[in-house]
Structure 1
């Protein structure tokens, strides 16, 4: 039987192509995940101990009291703060991470590349890469922070630091303490600390830190692995279908072996050895392809993003062994179902004509079971939508989606051929008889048709589900961001009015579509018996803002941060009344605390109560649609250096970018399973061409031209792909609705379900075109056989 095994592998090597592609893609995806994970870990861990080289121990995420305690004892805080950074000519960014640098040599852990370390307040160092990007040199003066809390600092050196601890700019700790918010990652101690403070030795802290980073990286790896398992599942469908067709075509060969004396177990063992060899070879190839892709992707990322925290790639044996074993097991599992038929094979089958295909569809039991499972899954999703607990509801939705999809798979032999016949009737009006023949061919073997469509169905369902879910999330997020950041850019005075020339200068900035002066006054609110200065503005009418910002008379809209200046619990201050005072005038207003940009907002009527001479306390800008918010921010910031620059357009653009990156990353991963499925369709058509050789020859002999035969095969591929895409789209949209009602509805109650119509149409069209492309090679093979040769085929 060993001779039979090798002969079969040589003879049918081309027919196993789709199965090999499927296994290689799934195994390679796991190996690539290992490469990216290991490179990320290596990059993050590189220099992780740099700040701790002269420390005895550390406290992770210390309180202000603990930080102050150990700093007084000679320790050092590893701290950062998000601040605006600008030079006289350029705005570097509204939210730049500013780190702390020590004036004491012991704690100067950064590598000095040029100049020196700060010796006093007012001096800073800049990361060498950031200096290169922003064209900063030693001796330049930078302004860090906003409004009255801004500091001017002189760059005295350029440094390099490990990616985990790196900041574009470092100022002294006393200067950082002057800002409202600082994030202290750890406080390093010069001596032994108190265990009650959470103090750890240097080695203990490094171990804890590496564990935290490992978990963060592994979460990302696990997410990617989910898509690898999806690819494996699609591979199972493709391999199962390939083996089913191939074994059906070889039944007479197997029966002949039985007639020559081979036992059932010998034939079965030979076939399963074929699957094992196929799995071994494909998995080994997948490891090689994955390793090359892993190295290549990491190298490409390093070239495109020099600051990306990627280290050296190291392949870990658990990943490689796991990927290899999964690839082999996937092949064996996928081939197990088709090989069961061999146990029922009789030697007399070698004397009977070749059947070629199994015309049996789904029986009454399977159809009834499928309908019951679908209804149960749909009911489960509707139950989950009304669940109070969002987390439990989401788990129930996922369970309902799985049950529903299982039901659709059971109904496949009834559902898919029926839809193919229906679509074929519609297509026949355009391309004529080839579409009718294609629909008839697809319906002759319902189980195979359903299995072929199932692999594509998985990928399309997931892809359309992600697209629809992200469309709903994007719409809700964009609307929420427009509520929080309705002004593209703004210059907000904090202590004194803006110059009259600022409005005209702002309108002349490239990218500015319109600008408006916002009247206001410097008011005060009493807190703890002392007046607290509070600039207020009255939003003018117009279309500069994205939303109507009209404020009701007697109301003041302000951010929690602004309210915290005079109210202890600012988040619960809505509804409270305060008195605004401007000179000898006052007005009592009701607070409306919400996330807004800029100074507190009052109505024009309230402003008239407070002053007869309002001044320009803000300039609001509406940008052109394609304008770069960072470039505009740099130019506008130079017009009023003492004013706070608000970049709402930049905030919205950043959030939208994150949504785009996430969406396309997921779609890119799902595309692998879609490509595997399309390879399966191409393989099925190729095997079908071999199986139906005599049939095609008879059609040719009866007058069907080569062009019409090609159209028939093309129509069959398009019908299969389009039906799978349409069913998958319907399932994906329904699943996304259930998930968004639970997840998005819990976070954003006002969100509405959004259908990305153009994207969904694009998925269906792309699937149809891909199916058309997949039929090119099989149709060429079919037309090369002459009618006489085809009729002579057995």
Structure 2
């Protein structure tokens, strides 16, 4: 029987190739999904851990009990160690100056910065600069640059001293480790320690250090040894801790994502199941085609002595061989596609720390091969059972669809209705939990369960309602002529098969529509969240201080020049002051830093105007963290005391955690001589953040004023790009499901042609032209694809909105968006693919002359 099976596979190589393509794409999708999951995780971790370079371990402590870096370096297994720290200095050349962050040199494995020209500094009179900063100052390798830095005396007084180190290198920050400060200058460790100690008047405590483990040394053993050295734990729960870089990045990622890492993993792994479901439907249809083609052969085998078990095993053996071979090819294809995607990303110089190569784990290889083979065999079970029932006189009779009159049909209908109703109920509950009750974990779990259950109900019950939808669409199309009416009638010849094929396409389109809708809603919601986290695109503040340590004014001319920079949309002046806040009778006064801003101008300059909600004359807007520390609530009164006087204001608790605001009108009453110390800048939406920040820094540098530019817009743009990259990977993977489903459309049309061979010949004999027959099959393909695509878009919008509400509700109001361009593109592709899928079946139908086709029946 095995020889017969192999011979049949050789004779059906063309048809098996179609099934094999579906399996290859399905398993490639699974493999690529698993690889993408690893790449996304790696990218996220590397973006967060960029400041640690290539460190293996990170050691942390508190400011009260800091680290001894020398003791860390002396620990067995440690190859290199460097403190994670930075300071600031003013760099000047002629009339240009830049307020720049500075870090010490370290082992090259612990430096996130790359040298693009020259070398790292190794002596006290050397410095390396970010390439754009050197450009801004007009200096290059071999030139000197003036460094203005603060020195604090033992009596608390301070003064500025100047040095002129030589520029020995130009630097690049490829992964944005210092994006917020526009890169970092580098000096040798001894110089850095001197600068930090003199600036603060005492040695600076090291609270975090990055460690490289020696080659050939066990990382876990070194981690344990370091934990013993610092007297801490291998968990960040302890005051002193030693963790791997990935663990530190995972902890930071969990803080950023609200602890939704598990949900993300479930979300990604769901794609694998989706691919297999779609591929399984297509494979089942393909084997139905094969069984229909071999009906007479199978009947003949029964006549010459083959029993039902042998015939069934032959079909399943064929499925197993096909599944195994195609799954292995799918893993290879998925790996090649994943690696190619990385090469393209690197060639396009994507500013995201993507790995150079994909990481092949046993799961990436074994899981797709094993599951792909099992799904193929499982999908062939029903066709195998059909094969055992083949009789010579009924070889090509199509299977009946389930009906209400049969018990199996009633059970199927009841179960599908129950699953649909309960599933959509859970989906709604998940959206409510995520938005109204701010429970994203429970909301996402309920949403995933509800979405899966409701969709199972929709798919299982599709055989009852989907043919009716196709019939309704067919009646609309049928008005165009007899060819269209024939095509519409053909979609109802075998409702089960039509429903199965449309369901396969329905799954793929639903997922793409769901993800594009969810991505559009997530983009809007994440933008709002980033607006709240980064309320100001660019901040320019004075870096000069008076003799008493008070911040000096930011020059009027500089503020005017900055406001005219191309790309700067709105600006507002701010004043930073430190006052004593006293609330309640007999309360102890606490220091409270305040930012004075005009509410109207501030609303224009801030990304999120809600940050200033509640700020008005007579009211101080206290950040909720500071309000908690001071025991203040909205409506309370607080007395603010400055050197010039005191005033009592009403309290409003703001959305910001640590920033408190005062109106400029109240500032004038409290401290009339308070200078304007900085300005908030909002960049235009269509401007490149990095270029705009650079232009602002150029203006500041040209002014000769001592001012600091903090361009959080650049860091925000990096976050935006990471989000876009992840969403692009996800949507790209899901688009593969549509390709798999479209193969099913071609298979269904092929089976339809086989079953209607005599009918097609009769139509040709009574005058139907070849063009009309082609048109009939084309319209049939368009109907099957169009119905599945339109229904998939509708379901995708519902699932996308509900998923966004469940997952993103914790960020605030979720804006539900419709990605019209993507939805239109999906519909167009589905219709065109349905049209293209009719080409091969049409050629088959037209290949045999009408008389010959009638004779063979």
> Which stretch shifts more, 304-313 or 183-192?
183-192
In the alignment, what sits opposite 2:217? none
TM-score, normalization by structure 2: 0.75
> Which stretch shifts more, 731-740 or 642-651?
642-651
State the alpha-carbon separation in 2 of the partners of residues 478 and 82 from structure 1: 29
State the alpha-carbon separation in 1 of the partners of residues 529 and 360 from structure 2: 43
Per-residue CA distance 1:277-306 (angstroms, 9 max, x = gap): 212321232243334334434444444449
Does the aligned pair in 2 maintain the 1:67–1:77 contact within 8 Å?
no
- Give ranges in structure 2 of 5+ residues lacking alignment: 75-79, 151-157, 213-221, 235-240, 255-260, 544-550, 583-587
RMSD: 5.1
In the alignment, what sits opposite 1:391? 441
Per-residue CA distance 1:512-533 (angstroms, 9 max, x = gap): 34x5553758564469879777
In the alignment, what sits opposite 1:370? 416
Does the aligned pair in 2 maintain the 1:537–1:617 contact within 8 Å?
no
Does the aligned pair in 1 maintain the 2:284–2:379 contact within 8 Å?
yes
* Structure 1 position 11 matched with structure 2 position 57: no
Shift of 1:379: 3.0
State the alpha-carbon separation in 2 of the partners of residues 214 and 579 from structure 1: 43
In the alignment, what sits opposite 1:80? 84
Judged with a 3 Å threshold, the aligned counterparts in structure 2 of structure 1 residues 163 and 22 are, in CA distance, closer, same or farther, namely same
TM-score, normalization by structure 1: 0.81
* Structure 1 position 333 matched with structure 2 position 378: yes
Judged with a 3 Å threshold, the aligned counterparts in structure 2 of structure 1 residues 185 and 718 are, in CA distance, closer, same or farther, namely farther
> Which stretch shifts more, 328-337 or 752-761?
752-761
* Structure 1 position 772 matched with structure 2 position 835: yes
1:476 is paired with a residue of what secondary structure? Answer: helix
Does the aligned pair in 1 maintain the 2:308–2:388 contact within 8 Å?
yes
Shift of 1:208: 5.2
Does the aligned pair in 1 maintain the 2:54–2:109 contact within 8 Å?
no
State the alpha-carbon separation in 1 of the partners of residues 622 and 148 from structure 2: 25
> Which stretch shifts more, 107-116 or 397-406?
107-116
1:556 is paired with a residue of what secondary structure? Answer: strand
Judged with a 3 Å threshold, the aligned counterparts in structure 2 of structure 1 residues 159 and 501 are, in CA distance, closer, same or farther, namely closer
Alignment of 1:32-431 (within 5 A): 32=32, 60-69=59-68, 78-80=82-84, 100-101=104-105, 114-115=118-119, 117-120=121-124, 124-125=127-128, 137=141, 141=145, 169=184, 170=186, 172=189, 174=193, 184-186=208-210, 194=228, 197-198=231-232, 225-305=269-349, 308=353, 310-311=355-356, 315-317=360-362, 319-345=364-390, 349-350=391-392, 352=393, 354-363=395-404, 364-365=409-410, 366-386=412-432, 389-429=439-479, 431=480
State the alpha-carbon separation in 1 of the partners of residues 5 and 378 from structure 2: 19
1:360 is paired with a residue of what secondary structure? Answer: coil
In the alignment, what sits opposite 1:632? 692
Judged with a 3 Å threshold, the aligned counterparts in structure 2 of structure 1 residues 643 and 333 are, in CA distance, closer, same or farther, namely same
Shift of 1:631: 1.1
Shift of 1:488: 4.5
In the alignment, what sits opposite 1:509? 565
State the alpha-carbon separation in 2 of the partners of residues 622 and 59 from structure 1: 36
In the alignment, what sits opposite 1:435? 484
Per-residue CA distance 1:334-354 (angstroms, 9 max, x = gap): 111221123334xxx22x264
> Which stretch shifts more, 609-618 or 278-287?
609-618
In the alignment, what sits opposite 2:666? 606
Judged with a 3 Å threshold, the aligned counterparts in structure 2 of structure 1 residues 335 and 505 are, in CA distance, closer, same or farther, namely same
State the alpha-carbon separation in 1 of the partners of residues 536 and 413 from structure 2: 57
Alignment of 1:718-729 (within 5 A): 718-729=782-793
In the alignment, what sits opposite 2:814? 751
User: Equivalent of 1:556, from 613, 620, 642?
Assistant: 620
Shift of 1:252: 2.3
1:63 is paired with a residue of what secondary structure? Answer: coil
Does the aligned pair in 2 maintain the 1:484–1:595 contact within 8 Å?
no
> Which stretch shifts more, 783-792 or 439-448?
783-792
Shift of 1:629: 1.7
User: Equivalent of 1:717, from 773, 781, 784?
Assistant: 781
> Which stretch shifts more, 149-158 or 379-388?
149-158
User: Equivalent of 2:573, from 511, 518, 527?
Assistant: 518
Judged with a 3 Å threshold, the aligned counterparts in structure 2 of structure 1 residues 228 and 91 are, in CA distance, closer, same or farther, namely farther
Shift of 1:155: 7.0
* Structure 1 position 670 matched with structure 2 position 739: no
Does the aligned pair in 1 maintain the 2:130–2:170 contact within 8 Å?
yes
User: Equivalent of 1:447, from 496, 499, 521?
Assistant: 496
Shift of 1:595: 5.6
User: Equivalent of 2:823, from 736, 757, 760?
Assistant: 760
> Which stretch shifts more, 169-178 or 681-690?
169-178
2:22 is paired with a residue of what secondary structure? Answer: helix
1:491 is paired with a residue of what secondary structure? Answer: strand
